[in-house]
Structure 1
């Protein structure tokens, strides 16, 4: 059984990813607050998700060239600096054009960081790479759990949500000063047969499709979950913003447990199980008309959602034919497109029929992921040996 060794480099990578998730999950539930503050429709507010998508898509396009030119180490730190700059910019932004700009900048920085982090963990930990990615995301989700709470508390206290978001700058500066390690640079790009590789195999694109679908689920829940709590479960604005942390608490739990299980079970089967848990949690969340069952549903949903990305990106890198950096960069397209399509579609539908009915898009995305993962499972199962028949 593979063994996960957590050295200093591993812990630094965990913290780097966690700081990005603070910004991501801290900003996620403020879309309804921005809608109220800027007096815009849900459709326009959902453009912040589109801004995140654009940043991720642009990142996926330029990351391979930037990695070759500057290396992983500079790319990760450059991404973290851009995330901090976006948080500072958002602090002073009170116009839709500016909030969209800084959302896009933060997402671009996050895509640079995430690409380098997952590729580095994959190469650094070898067969234990998927477990390391899951654990890294568990650590990141733990920090993400705190972010909506802080943002919700600062909003409820009259300080505004921006005060909570900009706090990410302080630990970023401290980590840069005390880290003391370098992220390893990419290995030579060769396939499993030792030849130079020019493209990604077909099974990789199945994993990428799952990343699109599960990314759509996560962004819909983080951006608009609080709106459903307000509209259907009777939760106040400040409490609904902080209540998104219940889903992130589930994500932390799912990733901590999943990191251990990944050392024992096939990732495809674990992902199918996680999709089933998410569907069950969503059903409870969507049908609840009072706060506590809705929050319980979010927690259960988070148990499954927490494993969607770690398992999906792990499968994508495992099927990259020895090209983890290229695979992670192209996965940014899948996640970026999900950030562009899903929240905008949900926001547009919600303006017509309300957020509760519009949220039925979520189980549709879960089903899409289940279909492609089941196909990936069949495509990668070892062949059944054919027993020779003795002549009579």
Structure 2
């Protein structure tokens, strides 16, 4: 695979996005403490961020088709940078919630455009490898974010300075790669040649190409999942066993909706642990706010390692068995974290939980596509609703619960979601035959 300047530009955009993503989770509790608001109100920042994803999904590919991928990508960088600066300067919940919404608009634009452009730029053969490398780089860079937040908060300057790195990163990208051309959408043009023949005006690689589907937002905090290109969907259909037919209309079978619920469970656990792990860590171990904010590093390390191995495991182990094993690993990690009274054991538990979570969302997505009976476009668009609902709703419910009961008791919501996912998994992967 050839990595040209456009490839590295898109890789670095994904890396900067990953840094922001893993800053945002631990920052929510720190901002809530600074503003003196309840945990439920603090959790609304995650809800505002997720709401932006819904709105971006409704826009579809309109911004890219009207302004081009390059302008849309840089506009997303600008919106995200402005949102981060407003978020860091906020002195009232109304301002910080609006800033979180603005961050969501920018972040979802960045990851959608970068993911789609990478897939198209490298084609159906090298595209998946490029996306995997981009996601791996994003996770690797993201591991530094919670550490920097903890160090900044503990050493004096404050956690906000760690988030200010985000606009600095995008500014550096603009200075170094501002004139680099980003692969754009190939517009369909009328042709006078017989059906099925390539247009004489079109270059060979664009002949017969189809416009990519409307991009959907990344489906949860740790996933960084880009929208699928048509070729990727065809390959996914061969892997999952679903027919390679895709349509945007028609009803979806019951097994799909069980997989939809499975996605809600997996994303709800990921987001809740990302936002509130530091709160339980402080409550159980007596760690400072800054030190506890580094907890997300252990989770991201587990996610990164698990996803590196998860792709190969998915080729050898049936989906339902692998998902069930991942839930078991996640439960073991949660038990270690939940019962820990010393930091090292809590960090070990978070790392093990990250290992378990690493494959849950990708497998839930694969189960949904397989159960959709060939309606991949419709399935993915419906999954966007599931993921944003879980990403915005589950952390809010957990934050509300921590206001009403001890933090340790409130955290039992996570194993409840994990255990509930097992019968849902069976329903989604073993549907009853139609009479």
Q: Which has the higher contact order (CA 8 A, sep 6+)?
A: 1
CA separation in 2, counterparts of 1:99 and 1:376?
Answer: 39
Identify which of 19, 39, 43 aligns with 1:42. 39
Per-residue CA deviations over 1:15-42 (Å, capped at 9, x if unaligned) read 3333222112102112222222111111
Contact 1:115 / 1:329 at 8 angstroms: preserved in 2?
A: no
Unmatched segments (≥5 aa) in structure 1: 382-392
Instruction: Give unmatched runs, 5+ long, in structure 2.
Output: 187-209, 214-229, 235-242
Shift of 1:241: 0.6
Provide the residue aligned with 1:163 in structure 2. Answer: 161
Contact 1:269-1:377 at 8 Å conserved across structures? no
Deviation for aligned residue 1:211:
2.6
Q: Using the alignment, how far apart are the partners of 1:183 and 1:268 within structure 2? A: 38
SS class of match (1:227): helix
| 2:198 aligned residue | none
Structure 2 residue aligned with 1:105: 102
For 1:137 and 1:188, locate their aligned partners in 2 and report how far apart those are by CA, in whole Å: 20
Kindly indicate whether the alpha-carbon contact (under 8 Å) linking 2:152 and 2:162 is maintained by their aligned counterparts in 1: yes
2: CA distance, partners of 1:122 / 1:201: 27
Change (3 A) 1:193 1:314: closer
Distance 1:266 1:225, change over 3 A: same
Aligned to 2:199: none
1:369 to 2:370 alignment: no
Give CA deviations for 1:59-93 in whole Å, capped at 9, x if unaligned: 22223544554565554443333222211222322
Q: 1:229 to 1:71 in 2, by over 3 A?
A: same
CA shift, 1:208, in A, is: 3.5
Equivalent-residue separation in structure 2 for 1:300 and 1:380 (angstroms):
34
Normalising by structure 1, we get a TM-score of 0.82
- The answer to whether structure 1 residue 334 and structure 2 residue 399 are counterparts is no
Aligned-pair Cα RMSD in Å:
3.4
Q: Partners in 2 of 1:19 and 1:149 — Cα distance?
A: 16
Q: What is the CA distance between 1:122 and its match in structure 2?
A: 6.2
Tell me by how many angstroms 1:294 deviates: 0.9
Write out per-residue CA displacement over residues 282-337 of structure 1, whole angstroms, 9 at most, x where no aligned residue: 11111112211111000110112233344444555666777777655543322211
- Give, in angstroms, the shift of residue 351 of structure 1: 0.9
Aligned partners of 2:134 and 2:297: how far apart in 1? Answer: 18
Q: Call closer, same or farther: CA 1:52–1:220 in 2, change over 3 Å.
A: same
Given the superposition, is the C-alpha separation of residues 132 and 198 from structure 1 closer, same or farther in structure 2, using an over 3 Å criterion? farther
- Counterpart check, 1:302 vs 2:303: no
Change (3 A) 1:67 1:318: farther
Question: Partner residue of 1:275?
Answer: 327
Decide which moves more: 89-98 or 130-139: 130-139
Provide the residue aligned with 2:211 in structure 1: 187
Q: How many residues align?
A: 377
The aligned residue for residue 152 of structure 1 is: 150
Q: Contact 2:117–2:182 at 8 Å: present in 1 too? A: no
> Do the aligned partners of 1:26 and 1:151 also contact (CA within 8 Å) in 2?
yes
- Bigger mean CA deviation after superposition, 81-90 or 351-360: 81-90
| C-alpha contact (below 8 Å) 1:134/1:255 kept by paired residues | no
1: CA distance, partners of 2:425 / 2:298:
27
Paired position in structure 1 for 2:60: 63
Cα shift at 1:350: 0.8
Residues 193 and 216 from structure 1, CA distance in 2 versus in 1: closer, same or farther, beyond 3 angstroms? closer
Does the CA-based 8 Å contact 2:70-2:181 persist in structure 1?
A: no
Pick the structure with more helix per residue. Answer: 1
Match in the other structure for 2:197: none
User: What is the SS of the residue equivalent to 2:60?
Assistant: helix
Task: State the TM-score, normalized to the length of structure 2.
Answer: 0.75
